[in-house]
Structure 1
Amino acid sequence: MRKILTIFPLAENVHLTKDVGMVPFIMHKFYNYDATLACYSSGPFPNLEIDTPGLKLLRIPKITGVATLDTVFFLLRHARRFDILIGFHYSFFTGITTTFFKLLNRFKRQKVVYIKLDAKEDIFKMKERKILRKLMGFADILSIENTSIYNPLVREFENLLYVPNGFYPKNPKYLLPKKNIFLTVGRIGSPEKSNDVLMNAFAKVAKLLPSWNLSLVGPIHEEFQSFISSFFSKHPDLKERINFTGPIFDRKELMLKYNESKIFVLTSKWEGFALVFLEAGIAGCTIVSSDILPANDVTNNGRFGRIFPVDDVDALKEALLNLAKNEEFLKNNSTAISSFYQENFYWPNILSTVNNKIETFLYK
């Protein structure tokens, strides 16, 4: 059985259900690899047996407190035991540690490095960052999680794959009817989330959509409390129509929240391939997103939702109003978007491409 090592020093329990844990776990469960995640933390990891059974953990000793150096020392001891190394992000840490893995195994042909870049717009400056580009060149496989970056770069890198984030396992189909709810989930009030834009847009459509409410799920950023107070002093009539639930840690309860909502809204200034898109789409929510990198992917180029310019309250208002008044579209779209997500963002399907690419290196 081939052995995979995933390096992510700062991994904690929460990362097991994100790509850091899901990629090695799915490779283990569906493609018969022995998979290990290496990190600083020794736990606890309660999600390990629940969500990623069979995934092994290996602790990186914190010798210097500098992640790159500690990982290099860790690889000196362990690198030769593994056939495939998986790294994350477009960074010098990933470039140095994956290159070091290749150098330690330079006389062994069947060793593979895969980097899931999760890149943002700054990757287009790769040509200017010659050292980092050189380090990334040691990788056998690179992947990008959105087509906005993948399409311009695929001709330049023959080893580049499109690998979006995914979900697992397939969720049960709930039978609860959807309600007239605009939903957002995340760190409410964090500056990059622009939740003020959502609340202001809702205030503009509230009288035109008297049966609709707004629900914000997640911890509230302390500095956002002053905005909330000011907002409700201007719109006291909306106190009963805007619900701050706080964080919902129980995943079944959270999925029920998605399931009962008709429209999911993300107003971020910037964002990677956020897992909230997947949760909302699987639950049949129509997606409204600011014009961030994954917006076209998660709405199928606007077919299953709407995209509006970042921080444009009026454009968001129009998107919410038009969708909320089109009940037939929302009903039909709920089934269509859920099917689209089940087909295109299921982790075992997504990673089949990665597995096929790895096998071309292992068995050539």
Structure 2
Amino acid sequence: MKRFLTIFPIAMNVHLIKDVGMIPYIMHKELDYESTLLCYKNDDYSYLEKEVKGLKIVYLKKIFHNQLFDVLLFLLFNLRKYDVLQVYQLSRVNLLLCFFCKIYSFNKRKTYLKLDADDQVLYYLPSKITKFLLKKINVVSVENQTYFDHLNLTMQLGRKIDYVPNGFYDDGVQKSLKFNKKENKIVTVGRIGTKQKATEILCKAFKKFSVHNQDWKLEIIGPIENEFKPFIANYFKQNPNLRERVTFTGPINNRELLEDYYATSKVFALTSRYEGFPLVLTEAAKFGCFIVSTDLPAVKDLIDNNHYGKVFPIDDDNYLADLFKEISNDSYQLEKLSSEFQSFAYTYFYWPEICKTIDKLLWSK
């Protein structure tokens, strides 16, 4: 049995466990790896058995109170127990960890850097030392075709990069899509009210759209930033007619309940000003939700060049309101594309298939 170690030292929470832990979890469940996640302790992780059953978690001791030194000490005594070392994001610490892994194991261990990139990677100019360290890593992957094409065309990082998108999982049971159970609802999921998520743009667009349509509702899911709460209060004060049509649910950690929101919504909206590859998009695709999003590189891959969704300019609530009107007036197209989109997502964005690609890449280099 091959042994897979994912290092993500920062304190974990349930959302990061679902995101960062998914690759090692699928490697364990579907590809017979023994998978371990190394991180600092944040809570008792009581949800692990339900969310990522079988994924081992090892708590990193804060001996030096320094991320690099704490992990290096762990690897010094434990690296022999693992065959693959995986890290997230391009950083000096992660490069040094991968280099140490190769040197200390006499090049017998595989290393994998998942860039988890956003637009900043397009402007990143690595030093000669960084390029040297990157070349020593077995697999370096990026999540969307735009970054993949750019990085390989320019050789910006001094090496070839592999394309490995993010995905979704269904515990091995694909739920049948029932469009007749979907309602005239737009749903969004994220950290509500942050500058990144631009929730106010969604609210303003829905207000303008609501003047022309009385049937559709908006459901906004996720923890709400304190700074955003005055906006919500003022929004309903100025638009009391929307109190029954716009719902702020707060965070929903129960997977079945959250999936029910996707399953009963026709449209998923993302108004982010910047993103890497948000996993909420693949969850929406899993349930055949039509995607409406800002024009982000990862979105283009998922909606197959505007076939399964529409994009709009960042911060343009007028354009978004017009898209809502256009979409709501074409119920036949929404129904036709829904099951087709789900099939497309299972073909290209299903974690077991993605992890098979990772496995092949690791052992071919």
> What is the TM-score normalised by the length of structure 1?
0.93
Tell me the CA shift for residue 295 of structure 1. 1.5
- Partner SS for 1:24: helix
Q: Write out aligned runs for 1:306-325 (5 A).
A: 306-325=310-329
The question of whether the paired residues in 2 share the 8 Å contact of 1:127 and 1:133 is answered with no
Tell me the CA shift for residue 128 of structure 1. 4.3
**C-alpha separation in 2, matches of 1:321 and 1:93:** 48
- Partner SS for 1:154: helix
- In 2 relative to 1, CA 183–82 (structure 1 residues): closer, same or farther, beyond 3 Å? same
Q: Write out aligned runs for 1:162-241 (5 A).
A: 162-168=163-169, 169=171, 170-173=173-176, 175=178, 177-241=181-245
CA distances 1:116-165 after superposition (whole Å, capped 9, x unpaired): 11112222334344433332222110110111201112343665221111
| Mean Cα deviation higher: 42-51 or 331-340 | 42-51
**C-alpha separation in 1, matches of 2:33 and 2:286:** 28
Residue in 2 aligned with 1:274? 278
- Partner SS for 1:96: helix
Provide structure 1 residue ranges, at least 5 long, that are not aligned to the other structure. Answer: none
Tell me the CA shift for residue 38 of structure 1. 1.3
Residue in 1 aligned with 2:27? 27
**C-alpha separation in 2, matches of 1:42 and 1:242:** 34
The question of whether the paired residues in 2 share the 8 Å contact of 1:167 and 1:346 is answered with yes
What is the RMSD computed on CA atoms of the aligned residues?
A: 1.9
Q: Write out aligned runs for 1:1-364 (5 A).
A: 1-10=1-10, 12-14=12-14, 15-18=16-19, 20-41=20-41, 43-106=43-106, 109-155=107-153, 156=155, 159-168=160-169, 169=171, 170-173=173-176, 175=178, 177-361=181-365
Provide structure 2 residue ranges, at least 5 long, that are not aligned to the other structure. Answer: none
The question of whether the paired residues in 1 share the 8 Å contact of 2:119 and 2:274 is answered with no
**C-alpha separation in 2, matches of 1:46 and 1:120:** 31
- Partner SS for 1:72: helix
**Paired amino acid for 2:204:** N
**C-alpha separation in 1, matches of 2:313 and 2:140:** 30
**C-alpha separation in 2, matches of 1:192 and 1:294:** 16
**C-alpha separation in 2, matches of 1:253 and 1:90:** 34
**C-alpha separation in 1, matches of 2:350 and 2:318:** 35
- Partner SS for 1:127: coil
- In 2 relative to 1, CA 53–303 (structure 1 residues): closer, same or farther, beyond 3 Å? same
> What is the TM-score normalised by the length of structure 2?
0.92
- Partner SS for 2:4: strand
The question of whether the paired residues in 2 share the 8 Å contact of 1:178 and 1:259 is answered with yes
**Paired amino acid for 2:266:** K
**C-alpha separation in 2, matches of 1:312 and 1:131:** 41
Tell me the CA shift for residue 189 of structure 1. 1.0
| Mean Cα deviation higher: 48-57 or 292-301 | 48-57
CA distances 1:83-114 after superposition (whole Å, capped 9, x unpaired): 211111111121111111112123xx432111
- In 2 relative to 1, CA 32–184 (structure 1 residues): closer, same or farther, beyond 3 Å? same
**Paired amino acid for 1:235:** N
**C-alpha separation in 2, matches of 1:159 and 1:332:** 39
Tell me the CA shift for residue 81 of structure 1. 2.7
The question of whether the paired residues in 2 share the 8 Å contact of 1:258 and 1:280 is answered with yes
- Partner SS for 1:86: strand
| Mean Cα deviation higher: 64-73 or 49-58 | 49-58
- Partner SS for 1:294: helix
**Paired amino acid for 2:349:** F
The question of whether the paired residues in 1 share the 8 Å contact of 2:134 and 2:159 is answered with no
**C-alpha separation in 1, matches of 2:238 and 2:162:** 49
| Mean Cα deviation higher: 326-335 or 46-55 | 46-55
- Partner SS for 1:61: coil
